[in-house]
């Protein structure tokens, strides 16, 4: 498994975009295509269902040496032995946490990522001990309905100011990728542009080639 700082492409098994496909098979295709991290996102699903999904995906990511990230569910990440857990601002700070040391244990997950939608949130995430920060949504996206785009200005700020690994996220496609890279991003998260592609692995390979 490569160091987080060397990871470039962060992909997702998002249950909202599976369209009846087997989550484990989707994870395998993401790994075959060159994803460095695969996040399980199952918004609204109860913890037992998230655990079941995670258990089905983990063998695929482990075999490929790819990080499995569990969205929101710290307890599931611990139970399944996931590599990382990702939390939103509201899931962490609004829940009363101030530093990720309060969630870290001697076992999994070894890493925590935090979302951010503005410079002050990114700095707060870094101060809280985040291993990586998500910066976005760069463009309007269906995965975050109602969340205004932070625009490329925030990406430019992150490129100037952040030394902690960070990933641009939100509405990134092959059509707008160049503008995101020109703004200074070197790591990206992609959801729908990969999961809605006719060939998931091929879509991943094209994003990696462009990166």
pLDDT of residue 147: 76
Kindly list the domain boundaries of the chain, sorted by start residue: 4-210
pLDDT of residue 175: 97
Name the pTM for this structure.
0.96
pLDDT of residue 140: 84
Tell me the C-alpha to C-alpha distance, in Å, between residue 13 and each of 75, 92, 117, 153: 19, 22, 22, 28
Pick the CATH number of 4-210 from 3.30.420.10, 3.40.50.10490, 3.40.50.720, 3.20.20.70: 3.20.20.70
pLDDT of residue 145: 72
d(CA 82, CA 102): 18
Give the up-direction half-sphere exposure of residue 203: CA atoms within 13 A in the CB hemisphere. 22
Question: What's the pLDDT tens digit per position in 27-83?
Answer: 999 999 999 999 999 999 999 999 999 999 999 999 999 999 999 999 999 999 999
Encode burial over 46-68: b for 16+ CB neighbours within 10 A, e otherwise.
eeeebbbbbebbbebbeebebbb
| Mean pLDDT, the chain, integer | 96
Q: What average pLDDT score do residues 203-208 get?
A: 98
Per-residue pLDDT band for 196 (boundaries 50, 70, 90) equals: very high
Residue 202 in this model has a pLDDT that exceeds 90: yes
pLDDT of residue 210: 96
Question: What's the pLDDT tens digit per position in 134-183?
Answer: 999 999 877 677 778 999 999 999 999 999 999 999 999 999 999 999 99
pLDDT of residue 148: 86
Diameter over CA atoms, the chain: 42
pLDDT of residue 12: 98
Closest-CA residue to 131 (of 99, 157, 95): 99
pLDDT of residue 132: 98
d(CA 24, CA 205): 19
DSSP state of 189: E
Using a 10 angstrom Cβ sphere, with 0-12 exposed, 13-18 middle and 19 or more buried, the burial of residue 205 is middle
Percent of the chain with pLDDT over 90: 93
pLDDT of residue 79: 96
Question: What's the pLDDT tens digit per position in 114-147?
Answer: 999 999 999 999 999 999 999 999 998 776 777 7
């Amino acid at each position: 498994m490569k160091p987080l700082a060397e990871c470039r492409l962060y992909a997702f098994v998002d249950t909202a975009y599976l369209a009846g496909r087997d989550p484990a098979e989707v994870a395998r295709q993401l790994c075959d295509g060159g994803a460095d991290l695969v996040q399980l996102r199952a918004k609204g699903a109860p913890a037992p269902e998230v655990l079941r999904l995670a258990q089905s995906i983990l063998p695929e990511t482990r075999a490929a040496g790819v990080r499995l990230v569990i969205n929101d569910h710290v307890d599931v990440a611990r139970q399944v032995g996931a590599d990382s857990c990702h939390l939103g601002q509201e899931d962490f700070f609004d829940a009363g946490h101030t530093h990720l040391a309060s969630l870290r244990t001697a076992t999994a997950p070894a890493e925590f990522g935090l979302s951010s939608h503005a410079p002050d949130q990114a700095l707060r995430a870094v101060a809280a001990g985040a291993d990586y920060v998500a910066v976005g949504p760069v463009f309007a996206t269906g995965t975050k309905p109602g969340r205004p785009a932070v625009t490329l200005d925030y990406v430019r700020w992150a490129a100037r100011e952040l030394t902690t690994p960070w990933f641009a996220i939100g509405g990134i496609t092959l059509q707008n990728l160049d503008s995101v890279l020109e703004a200074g991003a070197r790591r990206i998260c992609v959801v729908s542009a990969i999961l809605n592609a006719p060939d998931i692995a091929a879509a991943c390979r094209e994003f990696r080639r462009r990166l």
